[in-house]
Every structure is written in structure tokens, then in C-alpha cells.
Structure 1
Amino acid sequence: MKAIIIGYGKMGREIEKILAERGHEVVLVVDADNSAELNAANLARADVAIEFTTPATACANIRTCLEHGTAVVSGTTGWTERLPEMQALCRQRGGAFFYASNYCLGVNLLFRLNRQLAAMIDRVGGYEVRIGETHHTQKKDAPSGTAITLAEGIIDNLSAKRSWVNYAPGVEQAAHRVASPAEVAPDQIEIDSRREGMVPGIHTVTYESEDDILELSHTIKNRRTLALGAVIAAEFLCGKRGVFGMDDLLQ
């Protein structure tokens, strides 16, 4: 497989290592200082592009790949209000696009367990739910894409919840911000976002009743698991057409 890496931060470097370990070729690395090299001629050299950049640049990067017929895997979070637009472009162009908010296998198992638990709680009642997420201080946006996916899974299966809000002390780029947990309405899910040290990622879904507390929790130990998942997604995507996610890969 010939790959282009778009975004050469810590994730991009880890992806580069894993591509080499698995016998793939990196034909181009694109970062902020050479973004003009993401063009038709270079994209034609690649089977797939793997994109981990910023919310401000992800959509344009994905569009460029799709418009030039190159399959693209993206793991950038914080821009997903435009995800349906990119999925529609992929279908229109007959391209291939894979998106996940988190490429860790354990996290995607958590997503499935989360949906199942929300449905069971909906049947028995009596529990309030909240989500906590902690990441390293270099992650500027909040909440994490993983936390949003967890919240959406709950909303789809728990009739008492209709939306989510974010409590993110000290984080400037927080979406749907509330000043304190006290402002969370009964039909909203509170996502508490924290930025501490070099934490790769901790996510916890907590259900609490008057009598007990039930939690689902996942901790990422290092970025390698995320990079490996993204490379496996790229291998899966090669030769396909359509819009895909981790559920398609796991099945």
C-alpha cells in the first residue's frame, strides 16, 4: 500500500512507524509548511491518504483527496458538524472515505457496550448519566470526539436524553459550553472535559441512582493503539468505494 500522511504531529509520526513495520510505503508527508503538495499529481501516486490534522484544516484536506479520487482515512476531531457534507461528497464522487472519532479497538468496543447499556437503563429507569473525559494539555478542543460519540450513543438509546453540553474548565475551544454542571438541563448529558499533563485519553460513562453507581471506563495507554487502528482502516479501505467507519471494520 502506498500512503500519504497528512499531518505530521505525534500521531503522524506514529502512523509513519507502523506503516513501515507493516511493509507499506509512505510516498509523501504533508504538514503545514508544505500543504501545497497535497495536489492531484501527488495524490495520484497514493492508494490512500491518512489524515490527522486540526478541525480548521481537516475538511479541506478530505475534500482535496476525494475530489482527486484518492481514498482517505481521517481521525481529526472537532469538525464533525461537516461530516455529512464530506460523506455526501464521497458518494457523489464514487470515492472511499473512512472516519472514526477514535481508532482504538477497545474504545470501539466501549461504544457498543455504551449503546447496549443505555438501552437497558432506558428500560429499568432510575439512573442519571454523565460523561467524563481527560486528555493531555496539547489537545485544545473539547469535548473529545470520543466523548461526543459516547453521548450520541446514549441519546439514541435513552429516551430521557436529547442533547449534550460541555463543562470544560480552562479549555478555550469548548463546544456547547456550560459554566458549571448546575446549568445542565434534565434532558441533557453533561460531558466534563479535563486537560492534564500528557494523558493520551481517559473516558468514563457514569450512571448514578440513589443507591448505586455504575461505570464504563476506558484508558488509552499510548498513541500506538490509535495509529495502528488508523493504518488497519487504511488497509481495509483500499480498493473499496463508499463511506465507512469502525463498525464496518469490526464486522
Structure 2
Amino acid sequence: MKIALLGYGKMGKTIEKIAIERGHIIVLKVDKDDTSYDVSQADVAIDFSIPAAAVNNITNCFNANVPVISGTTGWLDHYETMVDLCKEKNGSFIYSSNYSLGVNLFFELNKKLAKMMSTVEGYDVAMEEIHHTEKLDAPSGTAITLAEGIIEISDKKSWKLDTGDHNTICITSKRIDKVPGTHTVTYSSKVDDIEITHTAHNRSGFALGAVIAAEWLQGKKGIFGMKDVLGL
């Protein structure tokens, strides 16, 4: 499989290493300041760029009829526009806030716990996410996905950064050097706390999941997520 890497920072380099180990070829590397490039030579593009570049990168892929895997967060105000363009171009698209196989299992565990907690009185839910200091968006896309999973099931109406009330989930974001990503969901009552935590040890899990998603997307048309890739 010939892969275009849209975004060649630390994640892009990790994806490159894993893709080559799995027998793929990197045919294009686009750095964050590159806006003019030919993606048509690739069988699939993997976008781990920056929020300001993501929409342009994804659009270029749809226009070139190249399937695209996007793991960039912070651009989702334009998500529906990209979905519409994908449909218009009969394209292939996977977006996930986190491609780690473990995190996607964690997403499902989070929903199951939220369903269980919705039947019990006296608990309130909050969330903490910790990432490296180079991460540009806060809260993380993973934290937002976790919050949306809880909102879907509970009486919570929304999430807010660093504040909350009965109707909202408070998400606390911390930026600490060299932390790949830690997410904790806590249900607190007057008598006890219940917590679930996912801790990433390095970027390899995210990169492996993105390459697996790219392999899975070959020959398919439409808009998918990691639940489709993993059959969850």
C-alpha cells in the first residue's frame, strides 16, 4: 500500500516506522507548512497535521479520489462540511479522535459504565486529560469523545472546560512535558469514587491503529469510524 503522510511531526514519523514494518511504502511526506502537493500517487492518506491544515488536507484527498484517515483534532467545526464533500465525491473517510486500539475499547467501556451509573443516585461525573505541552487543542478530542459518550446516555447536557454543574461535565486539561496521553473518568459521591483510566505509554498505539484503519479502508466507500474498523 502506498501511503501519503499529511503531517510529518512526531506522530507522522511513528506512523512511517510502523507502516514500513508492515510492508507499506511512504510515497509522500507533507510538513505543516506545505499547502501545494500531489496526493494522487497514494493509495491512502493519513492526516496527523494541525487544526489549521486538516480541512485543506482532507479536501485535497477527496478531490484526488484518495481515501483519507484523519487523526487531527481541533477542526471539527468543519466536520459536516467534510462529510458532505466525501459523499459528493464518493470518497472514503475515517475520522477518529484517537486511533489507539486500547482507547477505542476504553470508549466502549466508558459508555457501559455511564449506562450503569445512570441508574444510581448520588454520583456526579468529571473528567481529566493530560497531554504533552506540544498539543495545541484543549480539551483533547479523546476527552470530548468520552464526554459525548456519557451525554448520549446520561442526563448531562454538555461539557465545559475547567468548570461544571449538574447539567455539564467538567473536563480538566493539563499539559505536562512528554506525556503521550492520560484520560480519567471519575464518578464521585459522598461515600466513594469510581474511576476508569487509560494511560498511553508512547505514540506507537495511536500510530498502529491509524495504519490498521488505513489497511481496513482499502476498497471501501463511505464514512466510517474506529468502531467499524474494530467491529465493535
Instruction: Please state if 1:163 is matched with 2:158.
Output: yes
2:227 — aligned with what?
247
Segments of structure 1 that go 5 or more residues without pairing to the other structure are: 168-180
Q: CA RMSD, aligned part only?
A: 1.0
Aligned length: 231
Q: Which of 222, 226, 229 is 2:202 aligned to?
A: 222
Instruction: Please state if 1:90 is matched with 2:70.
Output: no
User: Which residue identity does 2:127 align to in structure 1?
Assistant: I
Segments of structure 2 that go 5 or more residues without pairing to the other structure are: none
Instruction: Please state if 1:114 is matched with 2:110.
Output: yes
Q: Deviations over 1:37-75 (max 9, x none)?
A: 1xxxx3221110000011111011101111221100000
Runs of 4+ in 1 over 6 A off after TM superposition: none
Q: Deviations over 1:155-208 (max 9, x none)?
A: 00002x0000002xxxxxxxxxxxxx4xx2320100000001110000000001
User: Which residue identity does 2:161 align to in structure 1?
Assistant: N
Q: Hey, what's the Cα distance between the residues in 2 that align with 1:193 and 1:34?
A: 30
- What is the TM-score of this pair, normalised by structure 1? 0.90
- Give percent identity, aligned residues only: 54
Q: Hey, what's the Cα distance between the residues in 2 that align with 1:4 and 1:199?
A: 27
1:70 — aligned with what?
66
What is the deviation of 1:123?
1.4
User: Which residue identity does 1:162 align to in structure 2?
Assistant: K
Q: Hey, what's the Cα distance between the residues in 2 that align with 1:33 and 1:165?
A: 32
1:45 — aligned with what?
41
- What is the TM-score of this pair, normalised by structure 2? 0.97
Q: Deviations over 1:11-53 (max 9, x none)?
A: 000111111101111111111344311xxxx322111000001
Q: Hey, what's the Cα distance between the residues in 1 that align with 2:7 and 2:40?
A: 18
